[in-house]
Amino acid sequence: MKKIIYLTLVSLLTISVCACSDDDEPISPLQLPQAARTFLAQFFPTYDVRSVEKDGHHDDTEYTVTFTNGYEVEFDASGEWTDVDAPDGLAIPDGIAPATIAEYVVTYYPGDGINEISRDRRGYDVDLISGTDLVFTLTGDLVSIN
């Protein structure tokens, strides 16, 4: 009997932890911060939205927009993009990457494109279609090639 009670308690604890850790809430694209809506209108005007999810609360809120064609964009609480990801073999739309980064890719990786770009307080992480990973500072200086 003790084993059954113990297993039941462990199961309930596991379920409650899993349920609390997943804060993703589906929302309407109109509920995104204005900066995110402007970004989407500029770079993805003809793409159909599959889903928009809000995760977190207040300053730690993140939004994820997924399109029916496989593109995905993540935004921070203020609506600034933090990650733009194209499906495998495809490039993100022109104009998203800072000009210095886009120029570097065109110059040193002609015929390649940016498959994913993410940014944080340290800089940019750029994954090319070929699989090459480039890391840049916030000012666009190359830090490493992987």
pLDDT at 22: 53
Spatial contact of 54 and 31, defined as CB atoms under 8 Å apart: yes
Position 15 pLDDT exceeds 90: no
Range of the domain at 129: 24-145
Listed in sequence order, the DSSP H helices in 22-143 are: 34-43, 99-108
Per-residue pLDDT, 96: 98
Supply the pLDDT for residue 3.
52
What DSSP state is assigned to residue 93?
A: P
Q: What is the pLDDT of residues 33-50, one digit of tens each?
A: 999 999 999 999 999 999
Instruction: Please tell me which residue, 82 or 22, carries the higher pLDDT value.
Output: 82
The answer to the question of residue 7 being in a domain is no
Does a structural domain hold residue 15? Answer: no
CA gap 89, 69 in Å, rounded: 13
6 in any annotated domain: no
Whole-number Å distance between alpha carbons of 78 and 56? 13
| CATH number for 64 | 3.40.1420.30
* pTM (whole model) above 0.75: yes
1 in a domain, yes or no?
no
Answer yes or no: is 42 within a domain: yes
Domains in the chain, number: 1
In a domain, 4, yes or no: no
- Judge whether 134 and 113 are in contact, CB under 8 Å: no
Does residue 13 fall inside a structural domain?
no
**3 within a domain of the structure (yes/no):** no
